[in-house]
Amino acid sequence: MARKYGGQYSPNASGTPPKPSPLSGKKPAKGRTRANLLFLVALPILFTSIGDGATEMAIAVGAFALMALGAWLTREGIDAQNAYEARTIARRPAIPRKLFGAVALGLGVGVATFDTSLMDGVIYGILATILHVASFGLDPMRDKALEGVDTFQTDRVARAVDEAERHLRAMTDAITAAGDRTMIARVEQFQATARAFFRTVENDPRDLTSARRYLGVYLLGAKDATIKFAKLYAQGRDPSVKADYAALLDDLEANFTAKNQALLLDNRTDLDIEIDVLRDRLQREGIRLPKGE
């Protein structure tokens, strides 16, 4: 049987935009796999030192610890950079984790190889640091902002979105502890809607004033509700508790979606006004534009 097409832009469509996928806007974590391999690279140092005496064993453990620290810092730095690149407005990471990871890895390699001579250890350590930087790059060194937006507005938006992201991460931690895959996916769906809202505010920082309740109060309440749900649900997995929490997420998502659409409509209205003003100025200068332009 033929089915009637009912997309967003089809005739008689309801106009309700489709819900964003939890993966929308997300990119593969570039470099994370290579960072994890650094942990494996350090393992042979421990095994080759077995039976060589206490001093050699202590040196090997120290070298392994430094290299593992470098791998961990590198992985954290990659996560911070991916989060930085996903946002329109963002402050640079406060700690250059990848740079510190390169130094720690170089020190570990230097400690592991200085048994032949001190100079060999220094050279190998420097080479390891250089290769690390060449492979993983450096941390973002400047804040990201929109062109034409003053620093004060940019910083306000960046702080508000940082706080909102902390609430979302706390929700993830709490719902993961609950161990219910359905609700984990449901929270991810809500987070995708919330992050789409974040991007709208970042694209026009003037929206921050009307959006502050959503970035602060509403997400704080969502975080607290998620933590309480996780505790209650873990006690007896009561279906009514799950249903109430799911209904809360539905309401929150509907509110965020409606507010996001309102902000987008206001932004479009502002653009239309700017176009009309520019068109009037050009006409006063004797320049007439076709209606379609």
Domain span including residue 63: 32-136
**Domain of 279: which CATH number?**
1.20.120
Of 95, 111, 136, the one marking the end of a domain is 136
Query: Would you say residue 222 has pLDDT above 50?
Result: yes
The pLDDT score that the predictor gives to residue 280 is 58
CA-CA distances (angstroms) from residue 100 to 22, 90, 107, 251? 32, 21, 11, 44
1 compared with 270, residue with greater pLDDT: 270
Alpha carbon distance 78, 140 (integer Å): 10
The H helix count followed by the E strand count for the chain is 9, 0
Query: Would you say residue 191 has pLDDT above 80?
Result: yes
The pLDDT score that the predictor gives to residue 76 is 92
Which element (helix H / strand E) includes 259? helix 239-284
95/176 same-domain check:
no
The pLDDT score that the predictor gives to residue 4 is 41
Domain count, the chain: 2
Which element (helix H / strand E) includes 26? none
Reported as a pLDDT band with limits 50, 70 and 90, residue 29 is: low
82/165 same-domain check:
no
User: 211 φ, ψ to 5°?
Assistant: -100, -5
Of 83, 110, 136, the one marking the end of a domain is 136
Query: Would you say residue 24 has pLDDT above 80?
Result: no
**DSSP letter at 206?**
G
Contacts 24+ apart (CB under 8 A), 233-239: 233/178, 233/180, 233/183, 234/177, 234/178, 234/179, 237/180
User: How does the average pLDDT of the chain come out, rounded?
Assistant: 81
Query: Would you say residue 5 has pLDDT above 80?
Result: no
The pLDDT score that the predictor gives to residue 78 is 93
